[in-house]
Structure 1
Amino acid sequence: MQYVPNLRGLIENKDKYVMLQIGKRSWNVKLLSNNNVHYLSAGWSLFATESGLKPGDVCVLELINKTELVFKVHVF
């Protein structure tokens, strides 16, 4: 599970699936919400593995489609 900083006011405070994109690839990942605290859950491990994340990498999620809940992922 991966913590997602403040999304208050951007999306509803309920569990849902979101799409993470890097380049032309995309992954559906479950976003858990509890009292405006958000975590990426089911699908996160597959995303992390297939996108080649390594310990120490930082991911910045850019909301690019509020209706469809699509995030462009920038890895540093």
Structure 2
Amino acid sequence: MMNLQDSFLNHVRKENLPVVIYLVNGFQIRGLVRGFDNFTVIIENDGKQQLVYKHAVSTISPVGNITIMQPEKADKKD
């Protein structure tokens, strides 16, 4: 089973959704997620790719709205 972080990154990667990555030092990186692993994210902007270490990331925000998780439905028990 894929974890929430991987589900989010995989969704924005597959859909080519632009994101803003906010680093812990306040710097912002905008672009498209091209790949990721347990420790890094590859983001592309203007044809240039950057390797960003996840430990330096505070937040990743998609430019638009996305839905990763569907609301859970309450199970009826008789």
Question: TM-score, structure 1 length as denominator?
Answer: 0.35
Q: Which has the larger radius of gyration?
A: 2
Structure number with higher helix proportion: 2
TM-score with structure 2 setting the length: 0.34
Which gives a bigger RCO, structure 1 or 2 (Cα 8 Å, sep 6+)? 1
